[in-house]
Chains A and B, each alone.
Chain A
Amino acid sequence: NAGVTQTPKFQVLKTGQSMTLQCAQDMNHNSMYWYRQDPGMGLRLIYYSASEGTTDKGEVPNGYNVSRLNKREFSLRLESAAPSQTSVYFCASSTRRPRANTGELFFGEGSRLTVL
């Protein structure tokens, strides 16, 4: 059972480079999310998607773009990476719509990004 799969697991970028983090879920979930996790801080929501074709900003969207092309996949793009975007990024999905979220999110294994 794959669950939520993220790629790549590790990436080193130089300031100004761009990259896309890929996420796919095979649980037929409606909602998908992108979080970042930094030391000493809780997970912070970057963007979320309630359904295919819709996306909304979370708490810390600046410097990121997302795309939900189909129900399975939700990608996160850094157009011009900055050192402040060094973090661990988690994709998550849930079966409920974001407004009715029960609180159970299924997370991918994370993508560790370093921006030099």
Chain B
Amino acid sequence: RKEVEQDPGPFNVPEGATVAFNCTYSNSASQSFFWYRQDCRKEPKLLMSVYSSGNEDGRFTAQLNRASQYISLLIRDSKLSDSATYLCVGALLSGGYNKLIFGAGTRLAVHP
């Protein structure tokens, strides 16, 4: 079982739609979580951190459910420019460093 699992998608949604991605993690010792965005053939970039209390950044809302070991990302009012792959990342202190465990990503395609 992968340590961080995501539905690969693609999620095909029209502009203006609300879309949600979930991500599950297997190691309950994971301490913090993040969402990264990766455009096609580009490098990943940090989108937002995920806190237990949930956090919002404009149209993006991230939630963490430690009891069920999943993280979610909600995108409201989708834009064409939101089309990308979204990587779920867990951080775990392991072997002397804060190990970042990347999911394989969920692809989002927003169409007109």
A-side residues, CB < 8 A to B, are 40-45, 48, 50, 56, 90, 98-105, 107-110
> Do residues B44 and A101 form an inter-chain contact, with CB atoms below 8 A?
no
Q: A45-B99, A98-B97, A101-B91 are in contact. Are A109 and B46 (CB under 8 A)?
A: no
B34 CB–A CB distance under 8 Å: yes
Can you list 30 pairs linking A and B with CB atoms under 8 Å apart? A40-B8, A42-B4, A42-B87, A42-B102, A42-B104, A42-B105, A43-B44, A43-B102, A44-B102, A45-B99, A45-B100, A56-B97, A90-B43, A98-B96, A98-B97, A98-B98, A99-B97, A101-B91, A101-B98, A102-B49, A103-B33, A103-B46, A103-B49, A103-B91, A104-B34, A104-B46, A105-B44, A108-B43, A109-B43, A110-B42
Contact with A along B34-53 (1 / 0, CB 8 A): 10000001111110010000
Chain A residues lying within 8 Å of B34, measured Cβ to Cβ, are: 103-104
**Nearest CB on B from A25, distance (A):** 13
Interface size on B, residues (CB 8 A): 28
**Nearest CB on B from A89, distance (A):** 11
Chain A residues lying within 8 Å of B46, measured Cβ to Cβ, are: 103-105
**How far, in angstroms, from A43 to B104 measured CA to CA in the complex?**
7
**How far, in angstroms, from A40 to B7 measured CA to CA in the complex?**
11
> Do residues A48 and B97 form an inter-chain contact, with CB atoms below 8 A?
yes
B101 CB–A CB distance under 8 Å: yes
Closest to B89 in A: A103
Chain A residues lying within 8 Å of B97, measured Cβ to Cβ, are: 48, 50, 56, 98-99, 101
> Do residues A103 and B32 form an inter-chain contact, with CB atoms below 8 A?
yes
**How far, in angstroms, from A101 to B33 measured CA to CA in the complex?**
12
**How far, in angstroms, from A48 to B95 measured CA to CA in the complex?**
12
Chain B residues lying within 8 Å of A41, measured Cβ to Cβ, are: 104
Chain A residues lying within 8 Å of B102, measured Cβ to Cβ, are: 42-44
